[in-house]
């Protein structure tokens, strides 16, 4: 069975998809414009993407298209519907995105990471709540339990980093002083802010390992006791299956505030604490330090939060989704699994 990933053509995603051993197909596409001036370019790029996707599907004799919810999935998904090719959608967040809401009525199946997104979709859609898939390796590592091991605090801003976290988290940590004793800091900055973040830690006289990208996330999370993170669906799934509690700082400009809604699910379950950057009451660094301080010194609270994170994990999500894709496309009948 041949698997090809389609996307916007950005070098980052092309490089990592190909490094994982899969083929990559760039498709012209553009998100909804913010004003009328962007409408002609939006229509032209997405129409071109639709034509290119249609040709690709015919040429490759594709059996199934899986849409992951972003605007880049729309041209390929619409072309699949037009050609009668099976379409399976995966919604990764607590609220269904625009692409998922638009495509869901024509999809053969909609896989939800969280039951909360069900309310955003028509009742007649073929919906199944399966969780978010995570890469092979998560859950195979076991956290080292030696009492003298330094505990690890991991700062995650997503694959490209988060500038506001890069600028704020080191300053918040500097305010904690002795409470950082016994902790080591690993900060994923993204490639653009690598040197500025290293310089900031040095200026604040804090020891930290700063890396642009975490390649082996399963092993890293297995050695992590607490994270400061955005609240994307995949990140939360990885934290959950690894049993890592977190102080979540949802991206304030996420579409439909989906990261804030994701964070609400995890905080309600007791596995995370959420801080809203948009809250005008008090300095953000002060609020972040106030949330982190007690957790850094209270191992029992961290252990309890870690247990609640594991209860939110859906380790079989990837297999469940794969089986649905094979069944809906008819590939299961020919032994593709």
Neighbouring CB atoms inside 10 A of 60's CB total 12
CB 14 within 8 A of CB 55: no
Give the domains, in start order, of the chain with CATH numbers. Answer: 4-132+315-334 (3.40.50.2000), 151-311 (3.40.50.2000)
Q: Where are the alpha helices (DSSP H) in 204-313?
A: 217-222, 233-242, 258-268, 284-297, 299-311
DSSP state of 274: E
pTM of the model: 0.90
CA separation for the pair 4, 17 (Å, rounded): 9
pLDDT at 142: 55
pLDDT at 337: 47
Six token digits for residue 210: 């700063």
| Matching residue, tokens 């638009």 | 102
CA 262-263-267 angle, 5° bins: 130
Query: Helix (H, G, I), strand (E, B), or coil: what is residue 146?
Result: coil
pLDDT at 281: 83
Looking at the DSSP assignment, which residues form a beta bridge with residue 272? 246
pLDDT at 274: 97
Residue 194: name the closest of 230, 171, 166 by CA.
Answer: 166
End-to-end CA distance of the chain: 9
pLDDT at 135: 86
Six token digits for residue 130: 């399966």
**Percentage of the chain with pLDDT > 90?**
77
pLDDT at 161: 73
Q: How far is CA 28 from CA 6, 31, 43, 75, 261, in A?
A: 10, 11, 11, 8, 30
Q: Residue 53 is inside which H or E element, if any?
A: helix 39-60
Looking at the DSSP assignment, which residues form a beta bridge with residue 154? 186, 227
Q: Which residues of the chain fall short of a pLDDT of 50?
A: 146, 148, 337
Q: Strand 151-156 and strand 127-129: pairing?
A: unpaired
CA separation for the pair 75, 181 (Å, rounded): 52
């Amino acid at each position: 069975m041949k698997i090809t990933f389609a996307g916007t053509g950005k070098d980052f995603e092309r490089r990592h998809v190909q490094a994982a051993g899969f083929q990559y197909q760039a498709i012209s596409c553009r998100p909804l414009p913010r004003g009328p001036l962007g409408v002609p370019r939006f229509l032209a790029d997405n129409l071109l993407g639709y034509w290119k996707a249609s040709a690709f599907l015919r040429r490759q004799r594709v059996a199934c298209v899986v849409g992951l919810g972003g605007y880049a999935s729309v041209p390929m998904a619409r072309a699949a519907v037009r050609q009668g090719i099976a379409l399976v959608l995966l919604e990764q967040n607590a609220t269904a995105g625009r692409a998922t809401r638009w495509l869901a009525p024509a999809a053969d199946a909609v896989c939800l990471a969280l039951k909360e997104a069900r309310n955003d979709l028509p009742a007649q859609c073929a919906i199944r709540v399966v969780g978010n898939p995570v890469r092979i390796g998560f859950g195979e590592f076991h956290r080292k339990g030696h009492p003298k091991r330094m505990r690890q605090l991991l700062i995650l801003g997503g694959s490209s980093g988060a500038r506001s976290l890069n600028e704020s988290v080191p300053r918040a940590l500097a305010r904690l002083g002795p409470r950082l004793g016994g902790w080591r800091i690993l900060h994923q900055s993204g490639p653009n802010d690598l040197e500025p973040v290293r310089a900031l830690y040095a200026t604040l006289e804090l020891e930290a390992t700063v890396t642009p990208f975490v390649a082996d996330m399963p092993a890293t999370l297995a050695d992590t006791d607490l994270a400061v993170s955005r609240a994307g669906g995949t990140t939360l799934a990885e934290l959950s299956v690894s049993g890592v509690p977190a102080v979540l700082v949802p991206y304030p400009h996420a579409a439909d505030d989906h990261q804030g809604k994701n964070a609400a699910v995890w905080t309600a379950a007791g596995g995370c604490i959420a801080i809203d950057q948009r809250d005008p009451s008090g300095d953000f660094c002060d609020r972040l330090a106030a949330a982190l301080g007690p957790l850094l010194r209270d191992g029992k609270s961290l252990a309890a939060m870690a247990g609640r994170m594991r209860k939110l994990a859906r380790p079989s999500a990837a297999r469940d989704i794969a089986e649905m894709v094979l069944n809906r496309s008819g590939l299961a009948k020919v032994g593709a699994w």
